[in-house]
Amino acid sequence: MIRVVESLKEVREFVAASLRRNQKIGFVPTMGAFHAGHLSLMRQARKDSAIVIVSIFVNPLQFAAGEDYDRYPRQLAKDVRMAESEGVDLIFAPSVAEMYPKGYATYIDQTDLPNKLCGQFRPDHFRGVMSVVGKLFNVITPDTAYLGQKDYQQFLIIRRMAVDLNLDVDVRMLPTAREEDGLAMSSRNIYLGPKQRKDATCLYRALQRAEELVGGGTNNAARVMSEMKRVIQRVKGARIEYIAVVNSETLEPAKEIKGKTLISLAVRIGKARLIDNILV
**Residues at the contact surface with ligand AMP, assessed by CB under 6 A:** 30-31, 37-38, 40-41, 147-148, 150-151, 176-177, 184-187
Answer yes or no: are the C-beta atoms of 25 and 15 closer than 8 Å. Answer: yes
Q: How far is the CB of 37 from ligand AMP (least distance, A)?
A: 2
What are the residues whose beta carbons fall under 8 Å from the beta carbon of 155, sequence distance 6 or more?
147, 148, 149, 171, 173
What are the residues whose beta carbons fall under 8 Å from the beta carbon of 79, sequence distance 6 or more?
32, 33, 34, 56, 91
Indicate which residue of 11, 14, 18, 38 is catalytic.
38
Q: Which CB atom, from 199 or from 276, has the smaller least distance to ligand AMP?
A: 276
Q: Which CB atom, from 184 or from 206, has the smaller least distance to ligand AMP?
A: 184
Answer yes or no: are the C-beta atoms of 280 and 263 closer than 8 Å. Answer: yes
Q: How far is the CB of 174 from ligand AMP (least distance, A)?
A: 6
Q: Can 35 be counted among the known catalytic residues?
A: no
Length of the chain: 280
Q: How far is the CB of 176 from ligand AMP (least distance, A)?
A: 4
Beta bridge partners of 278: 263
Q: Indicate the helix (H) or strand (E) that contains 5.
A: strand 3-5
Q: Which CB atom, from 189 or from 196, has the smaller least distance to ligand AMP?
A: 189
SS3 234: coil
Residue 203 CB burial class (10 angstroms; 0-12, 13-18, ≥19): buried
Q: Which CB atom, from 32 or from 245, has the smaller least distance to ligand AMP?
A: 32
Q: How far is the CB of 187 from ligand AMP (least distance, A)?
A: 5
**Where on the phi/psi map is residue 30: left (φ > 0), alpha (ψ -120 to 50), or beta?**
beta
SS3 17: helix
Answer yes or no: are the C-beta atoms of 113 and 157 closer than 8 Å. Answer: yes
Residues 29, 36: Cα–Cα separation, whole Å = 15
Answer yes or no: are the C-beta atoms of 237 and 267 closer than 8 Å. Answer: no
Q: Which residue number has the CB closest to ligand AMP?
A: 148
Q: Which CB atom, from 227 or from 241, has the smaller least distance to ligand AMP?
A: 241
Q: Which residues of 240-250 are buried (b: 16+ CB within 10 A; e: fewer)?
A: bbebbbbebee
Q: How far is the CB of 36 from ligand AMP (least distance, A)?
A: 7
Q: Which CB atom, from 18 or from 148, has the smaller least distance to ligand AMP?
A: 148
Q: How far is the CB of 29 from ligand AMP (least distance, A)?
A: 6
Active-site positions read 38
